[in-house]
Amino acid sequence: MSGGSTPYKVISPLRLFATFCVLAPTVAVIAVPTYDSATPRLGGFPFYYWYQLLWVVLTGVLMVAAFWAIKLDEGKRRQARAAAGTPESPTGPEMPGSAGPDADGDEGVAGV
């Protein structure tokens, strides 16, 4: 590397946090024996049902947190690349057939 700059970490704390936000609801709901009981009841609902409903709400909150963590991390990566003078990486491969004009000669959706 030129200039002695260190590259931005591939696995950053924000990415670890986002990974936790995605995996926690999955593991919590897959582990059925941990919540397979009727007690304690909450508002007349057995534990089994309100635990799952709780995870529906928590999953939404955690997915938003993961989205913002990744978005913040991507911003920091862009800043680190700009500071290092590294060109911006491509967003991903082109979709087959998406580059160039279609049969009508325009760039739009075929048949529209």
Asked whether residue 59 is assigned to any structural domain, the reply reads yes
Task: For residue 52, tell me if it sits in a domain.
Answer: yes
pLDDT at 38: 80
* Per-residue model confidence (pLDDT) at position 8: 60
Domain of 50?
A: 18-79
Q: Select from 35, 59, 58, 56 the least CA-distant residue to 47.
A: 35
21-68 pLDDT, tens per residue? 999 999 998 988 888 888 888 888 888 888 999 999 999 999 999 999
Domain count of the fold of the chain: 1
C-alpha distances out from residue 1 to 10, 82, 84, 89, Å: 16, 14, 9, 17
Comparison of pLDDT for 105 and 24, the residue scoring more: 24
What is residue 42's three-state secondary structure?
Answer: strand
In a domain, 33, yes or no: yes
96 inside domain = no
Q: What is the pTM of this model?
A: 0.64
- Structural domain includes residue 63: yes
